[in-house]
Amino acid sequence: MAAPYFSQVLASQKLNGTLFNTYTTAKTVLNPTELVQIPGNYLQIGSKLRIRAWGGLSNIVTTPGTVTFQTMLGPTSTIVAWTSGALQMTTTANTLSPFMFETVLRVNAVGITTAAALIGGGVVSALNFALSSVANPTLTDGVLAVPAGSPANGTGFDSTVTNVLDFWVGFSISNAGNGVQLYDYTVEQLN
């Protein structure tokens, strides 16, 4: 007999986040109250987490650069456990154009120090995205599969201690016109 399937919401954003711009190094875009603490030894091999985010994304017109989404873990949420990779933004200026992000992460390994690892994939959709540096699509939003490149385990973490799960965003170019604001964020445990 198969094990029962269940889904449980671990985190859900209740208020719009802060608008962040003029930075490059990825940082949290979550409200501090939305951070999830995952107890030590909670994650098992095969455990799955679905992360969904919805927000506004701005980009500049000339050399817009790229944006990267990251799932962070660790006692102080500073370990890049999964990354979308650098995603190209269009050469059309956009101000808080809606974006949708979804990824499913699977625990590939558990253990101490840096033995635990996640792998995952998903999609991101916004008017701001394209495969190369071109103008906004004219018929529909750009939809990109993530990660940008071959899926691989993220940076290892210690699954035997309490880890803080966080959502970070970074830009390749610091400009007041490159920004992000999170309107909604949900983390679900899928099994």
pLDDT tens for the chain, 191 residues: list them.
Answer: 455 667 899 999 999 999 999 999 999 999 999 999 999 999 999 999 999 999 999 999 988 899 999 999 999 999 999 999 999 998 889 999 999 999 999 999 999 999 999 999 999 999 888 877 666 766 567 788 999 889 999 999 999 999 999 999 999 999 999 999 999 999 999 98
**Residue 175 identity:** N
Distance CA 183, CA 47 (A): 27
Report the greatest alpha carbon distance in the chain.
58
Q: Given CA atoms 76, 39, 83, 123 in this order, what sign does their dihedral have?
A: negative
CA dihedral 89, 92, 97, 100 (to 10 degrees): -30
Q: Which helix (H) or strand (E) holds 62?
A: none
pLDDT of 70: 97
Distance CA 171, CA 159 (A): 29
- Collapsing DSSP states into helix, strand and coil, what is residue 91? coil
